Amino acid sequence: MVDQAAAIVGMLNRIEQRLERGTIAPRFKSVADTVVYAGLSADSIRRLVERGDLTAYRSVKGKIVLDIQEVDSFILGSTNRPQNGRGAHLHNSTEPVVNLNEKTRRP
């Protein structure tokens, strides 16, 4: 019994240290934080919630949070590849992608 208590105290101390270092990420994030995390717009996040692809939780009045594990699963489960429009050239072209941040001269 004493060994179990010591093990539990050790685990709690390690968790406390990780929390202090900030190495444990929160599971739920606001819409604004989810936008930054997922790289999607707020409108896209809200549309996914309206369609039922993501579940929104209301933690307090007016505060909506999303489960980051669900967001990860949704993104990783997506099998759609861009066919037309922005990003399509990344999957359909055999030419190398050019870094647009580099200054280039055109003849």
Report, as an integer, the average pLDDT of 60-84. Answer: 82
Alpha-carbon distances of 106 from 22, 89, 99, 103, rounded to whole Å: 47, 20, 14, 10
- Confidence check: pLDDT of 100 > 60: no
Per-residue pLDDT at 14: 81
- The closest of 27, 28, 73 to 48, measured between CA atoms, is 73
In this prediction, residue 81 has a pLDDT band, given cuts at 50, 70 and 90, of low
- Confidence check: pLDDT of 37 > 70: yes
More confident residue, 82 or 104: 82
In this prediction, residue 88 has a pLDDT band, given cuts at 50, 70 and 90, of low
Question: What is the dihedral sign for C-alpha 6, 16, 73, 80?
Answer: negative
